[in-house]
A and B are shown apart, each in its own frame.
Chain A
Amino acid sequence: GQNIDQPTEMTATEGAIVQINCTYQTSGFNGLFWYQQHAGEAPTFLSYNVLDGLEEKGRFSSFLSRSKGYSYLLLKELQMKDSASYLCAATGGGNKLTFGTGTQLKVEL
């Protein structure tokens, strides 16, 4: 079966750094995605990891450890517009994505 765990909500301060963790258990693992979803909108792609290590893309970085079934999304220099839900998703057989419940991030002044 597929199982994705991530915290339900987090709060951070504008300008700070926040790390959102995700643990997963999937069969036929073929990569780990992070998506951002603002309320009432569809998810937008942030990052993809299939090999162990850190992928950096501007203010966003994502890390994967396949042996531990663990990933995190790191957001630097937080902005108010970063307040959103962040979805961790793992690919399994048939290119299907299994989503976690999402982490609602609130950025405060």
Chain B
Amino acid sequence: GAVVSQHPSRVICKSGTSVKIECRSLDFQATTMFWYRQFPKQSLMLMATSNEGSKATYEQGVEKDKFLINHASLTLSTLTVTSAHPEDSSFYICSVLDSGARAAQYFGPGTRLLVL
């Protein structure tokens, strides 16, 4: 499967600041990436679909102006949490879509965000 990296792995920030998370596909050209959020003891919730060269598609209830997604190349998608608040503290995970027959997704190692 595809090898996916995320940076940073862990970030602590003050309330009101913005945080950028990078997702890189290291060995695979990814037209489509996904961003998920996972709260403790809960499953992954899809936030948005990131499409290379076009606007991201957000899931219902996810504020596009708060969670800015940029997918400028086939190997990089970024998620920026703007004006972060403590309730945004979560585990953010990206995935790369293998658009082959089974449409598998391969996940990055995740970024743990703590907003103080």
Contacts and interface: CB of A to CB of B under 8 A. Distances in A.
Interface of A: 30-31, 33, 35, 40-45, 48, 50, 87, 91, 94-102
Given A45-B104, A102-B43, 9 more contacts: A41-B109, A42-B108, A43-B107, A95-B103, A96-B46, A97-B46, A99-B44, A101-B42, A101-B43
Nearest to B91: A40
A44 B3 CA distance: 11
B52 to A, nearest CB: 14
A101 B42 CA distance: 6
Contacts of B109: 41-42
Contacts, number: 52
Nearest to B32: A95
A96 B112 CA distance: 23
B49 interface: yes
Given A94-B49, A95-B97, A44 B107 contact: yes
Interface in B65-115: 91, 93, 97, 99, 102-110, 112
Contacts of A43: 44, 93, 107
21 contacts: A30-B103, A33-B104, A33-B105, A40-B110, A40-B112, A41-B109, A42-B108, A42-B110, A44-B107, A45-B1, A45-B104, A48-B102, A87-B43, A95-B97, A95-B99, A95-B103, A96-B34, A96-B46, A97-B34, A98-B46, A99-B44
A99 B46 CA distance: 9
Given A95-B32, A101-B43, A45 B106 contact: yes
A97 B108 contact: no
A88 to B, nearest CB: 9
Interface string B28-51: 000010100000001111100100
Nearest to B112: A40
Contacts of A99: 43-45
